[in-house]
Every structure is written in C-alpha cells, then in structure tokens.
Homo-oligomer: A and B are copies of this chain.
C-alpha cells in the first residue's frame, strides 16, 4: 500500500484550475489573480503537495544538487578534519534550498578526473567544489570542458574562470613562527605538505618568509604528505640532523601529532627538548599530551561560503566575486615552550 504523493494535476483539479496555473502560483510568478493564487496554495497545502524533484529536474534541466569529489587514496580522507566540517557547512546552506550534496569518492584505481566526469556525464549536479587545489591544476580545464560550474577552494595560480573562496594560510603560519621566535627558538624546521598543493606551498613559503623577516633561515624543510606516516618519517630525519632543530612546524595536525609521538619515542621531552606546532586544530590536538599548539581555521564557515558562492553561479549570476575568509588563528597549548639552552 504505497501512498501516492499528490501531483500538480491533483492540486489543479482540487483548486479548479489548470496545471499551468498551479505551476505559476507555486513558483510565485506574476500574472495570476491574488484570489486564484490563494486558492491554489490552499489546495496544495491541504493535499500536502511537494514538488517532484525528478520532474522538475527534467523540465528545467537542473539537478538541484552540488557535488564534491574526494580522493580516498592516501588515507587523505580518512582522518582529515577539514572535510567533515566543510561538508557540514555546505549542507547547512543546501538544506535550506532543497538541494542535495552528492559525494564522489575516487578510489585507488582511477583518476580524480573520472570522478568529475561521472558527475558531469550523469548530470547529477549543477556545480562542484574544487578542493585540495594544486598548482596548474588540470581539473580547472577539465571542468571548463565539461561545462560544469565550480568554485575553487583557494585561489589557483593560473587563469581560472571560477570564483575562488580563499582562506589565507600565511598569517596563521606566520603567527606560529612568530610565537616560536618569541620563545627564543632559532633552529626551526618545517614539515611541509606535498608541494603540488597550493595550500601546502602557501604554508611553507609563509614559514620561510617569516623566518627571513627575522633574519633567520629554516633549520630544514622536509616534504611530508599530510599523513601521519609521512609525519613520522620526516620527523625522524629532522631529529637525526647534526644540529637538531629546537622546534618543528608541521603543515597539519596529523603530521604534528605523529611527529610528537616520534619525538617522544626518541626519548625527547616536548616542549623542553623540542617544541612542536601543527595546523588545523583538529579534535585531538587539544587532548594529546602535551596539548598541541596549532592554528585554527573555520572549515564549517568555509563550507557555508563555498556553497553560497557556488549557488550564485548555479543560479546564473555572471560575475561572482571571490570571497576571502578571515585567516586562521594561533592556538597556543603546551607543545611549544622556550628554546632549550645551547649545549655547546
């Protein structure tokens, strides 16, 4: 006994008007007498009518959904604190507009481009979020070719026809370095993210620049990969240096927490022997021992703004301005302390 949902035809016959009039009334189009509109709305209400997404999708050629492609590969997804909060922010906008969020997870075997192609070919979505932006990101051209509107998270370095929602990673990174300088550190190392990522190089160049402004050079810059395993390895290499750094700035919390473990496993005390800072302020950052000094952005807000921006585009706006979010804030905890005395 499936309960049939009322269609627009049911509403029409109940209100004693034509289908077309009902459609006009429900969409608030002008050209109908107010009395008729009221009558139709009342009828729709009594019947509990809800528009059929499927029918609307077909006739107006819109999906009423936005898409997000995520690569699963290097467990990137698996404990990234960014996406869940970002997605929640996106949803907070979509749910008020009756839109849905379609997720495409690209598995190991295929290229990320396939994810976008699938979304485009199946016409599942009206636009997509372009996350984890890379330098000379080929996905931009791909999306242009596919005719799929997009919003980039961060600003691409090449030409891009899409609006960008950006959060400047540099002030946060600078604040961390500044904080360490004030604690007296001079041998500060960095564990960066993969240089292919825009946000990774933004962080590492801010790291270098801030040190340079203080007349210092990095003790070392190791390329990490944002994963805990990579963080461990990079940390081991840094700790094996002839002149061990007294502080390490990581490009994200996962690497930092793993690095913290590696340092402790090597017999070092944090922060007495080594100061450690992360980036993201993920949930565990506050609760590991010692609490991790890090930088806090607002991924939920990022999601909200990205969704709003993408929707402007989807709604047909021609010139959608970029949006700059407030930069991430330094959160000082116990993992950073005054520089140890030189042993020399």
Q: Which residues of A does B touch, CB under 8 Å? A: 2-3, 50, 52-55, 57-58, 61, 63, 65, 72, 75, 77-81, 83-85, 87-88, 91-92, 95, 98, 100-105, 107, 118, 121-124, 147, 227-229, 231-232, 254, 257-258, 260-265, 282-284, 286-291
4 nearest A-B pairs in the assembled complex, by CB-CB distance: A261-B289, A258-B287, A91-B105, A264-B289
Residue pair A122, B100 in contact (C-beta under 8 Å):
yes
Set B72, B102, B282: member contacting A100, Cβ < 8 A? B102
- Distance A293 CA – B287 CA, assembled complex (angstroms): 18
Shortest distance in angstroms between A198's beta carbon and chain B's nearest beta carbon? 22
Residue pair A77, B84 in contact (C-beta under 8 Å):
yes
- Distance A231 CA – B264 CA, assembled complex (angstroms): 22
- Distance A133 CA – B341 CA, assembled complex (angstroms): 55
Q: Which residue of B lies closest to A99 (CB)?
A: B122
Residue pair A284, B228 in contact (C-beta under 8 Å):
yes
Residue pair A63, B72 in contact (C-beta under 8 Å):
no
Residue pair B283, A261 in contact (C-beta under 8 Å):
no
A54, A63, A254: which has the most chain B beta carbons within 10 Å? Answer: A54
Shortest distance in angstroms between A22's beta carbon and chain B's nearest beta carbon? 18
- Distance A105 CA – B72 CA, assembled complex (angstroms): 20
Residue pair B87, A78 in contact (C-beta under 8 Å):
no
Residue pair A103, B81 in contact (C-beta under 8 Å):
no
Q: 26 interchain pairs (CB within 8 A)?
A: A50-B122, A53-B122, A54-B54, A54-B61, A54-B123, A65-B102, A65-B124, A72-B91, A77-B85, A78-B84, A79-B79, A79-B283, A87-B103, A88-B105, A91-B103, A92-B107, A100-B104, A101-B102, A101-B105, A102-B103, A229-B287, A254-B284, A258-B284, A258-B287, A262-B287, A264-B289
Residue pair A78, B81 in contact (C-beta under 8 Å):
yes
Chain B hits for A88, CB < 8 A:
72, 77, 105, 107
Chain B hits for A77, CB < 8 A:
84-85, 88
Shortest distance in angstroms between A2's beta carbon and chain B's nearest beta carbon? 6
Chain B hits for A63, CB < 8 A:
54
Chain B hits for A83, CB < 8 A:
84
Q: Which residue of B lies closest to A259 (CB)?
A: B287
Chain B hits for A287, CB < 8 A:
228-229, 231-232, 257-258, 261-262
Shortest distance in angstroms between A127's beta carbon and chain B's nearest beta carbon? 15
Q: Which residue of B lies closest to A67 (CB)?
A: B100
Instruction: Given A78-B81, A91-B105, output 17 extra A-B contacts at Cβ < 8 Å.
Output: A72-B88, A72-B91, A75-B283, A78-B85, A78-B283, A79-B284, A83-B84, A88-B107, A95-B105, A102-B102, A102-B103, A103-B103, A228-B284, A257-B288, A258-B287, A258-B288, A262-B289
